[in-house]
Amino acid sequence: MTKKISILVVDDERSVRDSLYNWFIEDGYHVDCAEDAKKALSILEAESFDIVLADIKMPGMDGLEMLKRIKTIRNDAIVIMMTAFATVETAVQALKDGAFDYVTKPFDPDDLSHLIRNASKQISLMEENEVLKDKVVSLENVEDLIGESEAMVQVLREVESVAQSNASVIITGESGTGKELVARAIHSNSPRRYFPLVSVHCGALSESLLESELFGHEKGAFTGAVYNRKGRFEMADNGTIFLDEIATISSKMQVELLRVLESKSFVRVGGNKEIKSDFRVICATNRDLKAMVDNGVFREDLYYRLNVVNINVPPLRERTEDIPLLVDYFIKKYCTTMNRPIMTVDPAALKRLEEFPFPGNIRELENMIERAIVVGNGKKITLKDLPIEKSEAMPAFESLDELEKHHVLQILNKYNWNISASAKALKVDRVTLYNKIKKYQLKQTK
Amino acid sequence: MKPENITLISFGYFEKRFLGEIMYDVEREFRIPVVIQEGHLDLSEYFDPARRQYNGNLLLRDIDKQFASDQVKTLALFNIDLYIPILTFIFGQAFLNGRCGIVSAYRLYNERYGIKADERVFIDRLCKEVIHELGHAFGLIHCPNPTCVMRSSTYVEDIDQKSWSFCAKCKKELE
């Protein structure tokens, strides 16, 4: 026995209390007795007992009433009711009110041993459950969301405030910024954390596949549907469904999705039975959904249904101060995975990383660090381990004009502002190049 | 404090060779001299006509009052069907770390369960129960070790499965 189980015996008959006391003491339990419900409740308020063994018929407050009160003090208390006058009604009532079991006095010594053994097993299972829950929480914490920059702190703050609610969330941000990690953080901090987080990458599936994936299908619904299959909405019951790349779904799926979000019920492909599921929706996209709504590509009603809360994950170039932290984190992660000693980073290499625009965001940085650990000398990550040339350190521009301006300037600098050579390299005539210089107000820097 | 001796008091008829064997086993396990006595008690006071059994709690209380002393550990042997108010029957009971205990041979006979009488099995069961209850009187609680004599037994089959000696852990606690 790892932990001493404590038992409170509540019975108005002294002989019963004494008998049970002696019996349990010999079994090594911690035992206390109370002669009525009132005393038992006051003992329970002061001290916690694992098992309460209580008589139903007692003067004053009876055992059933006491059971209800005990449940208000400690809902998970294991209460075993006993009586000399067994009726089916009282037994059923006791069990309905939350009693663990019900026994008729006098009982067989073996029954008593079994009863207490079962209750002890239940207690250890409950304790184990608590320990496992704690472990799950610590496993699913948001440690992958690295960053101390103001932008990232703001994201974490939003995650924290939205997690406890049931509101739909749209996570926006460029590819590779960690939108799924944000979704995971919301889920693992929400009351739904002990239930599944089901991810669906909408962009990777065709319309019919996505439909079958989300709603499930019945056997024979289409060629290849040889079994009944649960859909992701069904799997996410009591949990969260994460719809990545939501902007890629077809207009037909948008209608279907809106209906499911409104009714929280759906029918499997090829089926006719309505299935209910209680899930929370978190979506992610790297596109401007509002613009898509304005252009009539994305349904407005679905947009407003999904966009209760919007969390924008900043691109890495807007939080370069987080790069050292991220580099450190990925080094530890991959060195541990590859069973290597933890490496350090050369300051020059770190500076280059901080200057690099990372169009692929954190995903790109992560891959870069992983590669550097593989090809590196095992002690320090240096410039030569990084797959970036200095000239590659080009910011990621959204508009074509900005890109053109940057490229023209780069070529002009390369050819020392020799217009003819630069125009030849750019494969444009000299007049066009002059026009570009004028348009972008380019100037030679000394 | 180590008691001067262990006193076995038989109430009712027990064959001398049975008592001799019990005495030998108890002495071997506890390494304390064992004294055998005969006792007399009006058992009708403990009889419950509704249950047709004898109240073990009252009996233990009176054995403690009338026959036990601080210097010895006393164990009273009976041949009656014992119960305590909450349980249908008991083989015996003792005050934990107390002065005395009681054991009844009544439910240890094979014949009670429709099986052929076996004297060897009966004596073994009785010895084990006596050592078990004395173990409680010496402060030992039930032991999870399946072969230890301090293992809780709620059926005769349980008694048959355990040995009549203490496991290493209980032996250490006893010392």
DSSP secondary structure of B2-24: --SEEEEEEES---HHHHHHHHH
* Shortest CA distance from B57: residue in chain A: A19
pLDDT of residue A244: 92
pLDDT of residue A139: 52
From the list A23, A110, A112, the residue facing B155 with the nearest CB is A110
pLDDT over 90 at A56, yes or no: no
pLDDT of residue B68: 93
Contact B86 A112 (CB under 8 A): yes
Quote the CA–CA distance of A425 and A445 in Å, as a whole number.
20
Measured in angstroms, the CA of A73 and the nearest CA of chain B are apart by 27
Question: 10 Å Cβ neighbour count for A424?
Answer: 15
pLDDT of residue A378: 77
- CB-side neighbour CA atoms (13 Å) of B49: 0
Give the DSSP letter string of A91-140. HHHHHHTT-SEEEESSB-HHHHHHHHHHHHHHHHHHHHHHHHHHHHHHHT
Amino acid letter, residue A314: P
* Contacts A33 to B, Cβ<8 Å: none
Quote the CA–CA distance of A184 and A197 in Å, as a whole number.
7
ipTM of the complex: 0.77
B136 and chain A: CB distance < 8 Å anywhere? yes
Contact A110 B154 (CB under 8 A): yes
Measured in angstroms, the CA of B83 and the nearest CA of chain A are apart by 9
* Shortest CA distance from A14: residue in chain B: B85
Question: DSSP 3-state assignment of A334?
Answer: helix
From the list A25, A27, A107, the residue facing B87 with the nearest CB is A107
Question: pLDDT by residue (tens digit) across A350-380?
Answer: 888 888 888 888 889 999 999 988 888 778 8
pLDDT over 90 at A387, yes or no: no
Quote the CA–CA distance of A51 and A74 in Å, as a whole number.
11
pLDDT over 50 at A246, yes or no: yes
B93 and chain A: CB distance < 8 Å anywhere? yes
B108 and chain A: CB distance < 8 Å anywhere? no
Quote the CA–CA distance of B93 and B130 in Å, as a whole number.
10
Question: pLDDT by residue (tens digit) across A166-184?
Answer: 999 999 998 888 898 899 8
Contact A20 B86 (CB under 8 A): yes
Question: pLDDT by residue (tens digit) across B9-29?
Answer: 999 888 888 899 999 999 999
Q: Tokens in use for A114?
A: 């079994």
Quote the CA–CA distance of A289 and A303 in Å, as a whole number.
8
Question: pLDDT by residue (tens digit) across A181-215?
Answer: 899 889 988 888 888 889 999 888 888 888 888 98
Residue (of A354, A390, A384, A389) closest to A371 by Cα position: A384
- CB-side neighbour CA atoms (13 Å) of A405: 14
Over range A140-166, report the average pLDDT: 82
pLDDT of residue A389: 63
- CB-side neighbour CA atoms (13 Å) of A293: 13
In sequence order, the 6+-apart residues with CB closer than 8 A to the CB of B35 are B5, B6, B7, B8, B72
Sheet holding B82-84, edge to edge: B47-48, B53-55, B82-84, B87-90
pLDDT of residue A93: 82
From the list A19, A26, A110, the residue facing B85 with the nearest CB is A19
* Contacts A82 to B, Cβ<8 Å: 86
Contact B87 A108 (CB under 8 A): yes
Q: Which residue has the higher pLDDT, A322 or A393?
A: A322
* Contact (CB, 8 A) for B92 and B102: yes
Residue (of B44, B110, B108, B32) closest to B75 by Cα position: B32
Residues shown for chain A: 446
What average pLDDT is seen over chain A? 86
Measured in angstroms, the CA of A108 and the nearest CA of chain B are apart by 5
* Shortest CA distance from B134: residue in chain A: A26
pTM of the full structure: 0.54
Question: pLDDT by residue (tens digit) across A72-108?
Answer: 887 778 999 988 776 777 778 888 888 898 888 888 8
Contact B85 A16 (CB under 8 A): yes
Question: DSSP 3-state assignment of A275?
Answer: strand
* Contacts A28 to B, Cβ<8 Å: 141-142
In sequence order, the 6+-apart residues with CB closer than 8 A to the CB of A272 are none
* Contact (CB, 8 A) for A79 and A40: no
pLDDT over 60 at A390, yes or no: no
B35 and chain A: CB distance < 8 Å anywhere? no
* Contact (CB, 8 A) for A65 and A98: no
Quote the CA–CA distance of B55 and B156 in Å, as a whole number.
20
* Contacts A109 to B, Cβ<8 Å: 87-90, 154
pLDDT band at residue A1, thresholds of 50, 70 and 90?
A: very low
Over range B104-130, report the average pLDDT: 94
* Contacts B141 to A, Cβ<8 Å: 25-28
Strand-pairing partners, residue A266, are A275
> ω before A347 within 30° of 0 (cis)?
no
- CB-side neighbour CA atoms (13 Å) of A2: 6
Over range B79-91, report the average pLDDT: 92
From the list B57, B96, B155, the residue facing A25 with the nearest CB is B96
pLDDT over 60 at A2, yes or no: no
B144 and chain A: CB distance < 8 Å anywhere? yes
Measured in angstroms, the CA of B107 and the nearest CA of chain A are apart by 13
Q: Please, where are the H alpha helices in A191-322?
A: 207-215, 232-235, 251-263, 289-294, 300-306
Contact B88 A108 (CB under 8 A): yes
Mutate to test the interface with B, among A11, A18, A19 (most CBs of B within 10 A): A19
In sequence order, the 6+-apart residues with CB closer than 8 A to the CB of B115 are none
pLDDT of residue A141: 55
pLDDT of residue A140: 56
Contact B142 A27 (CB under 8 A): yes
Contact A15 B57 (CB under 8 A): yes
pLDDT band at residue A33, thresholds of 50, 70 and 90?
A: very high
pLDDT over 80 at A138, yes or no: no
A→B contacts (Cβ < 8 Å), by residue, are 1, 13, 15-16, 18-20, 22-23, 25-28, 82, 105-110, 112-113
In sequence order, the 6+-apart residues with CB closer than 8 A to the CB of B43 are B11, B54, B59, B78, B80
Quote the CA–CA distance of A421 and A414 in Å, as a whole number.
10
pLDDT band at residue A226, thresholds of 50, 70 and 90?
A: confident
User: Which residues of B are the active-site residues?
Assistant: 133
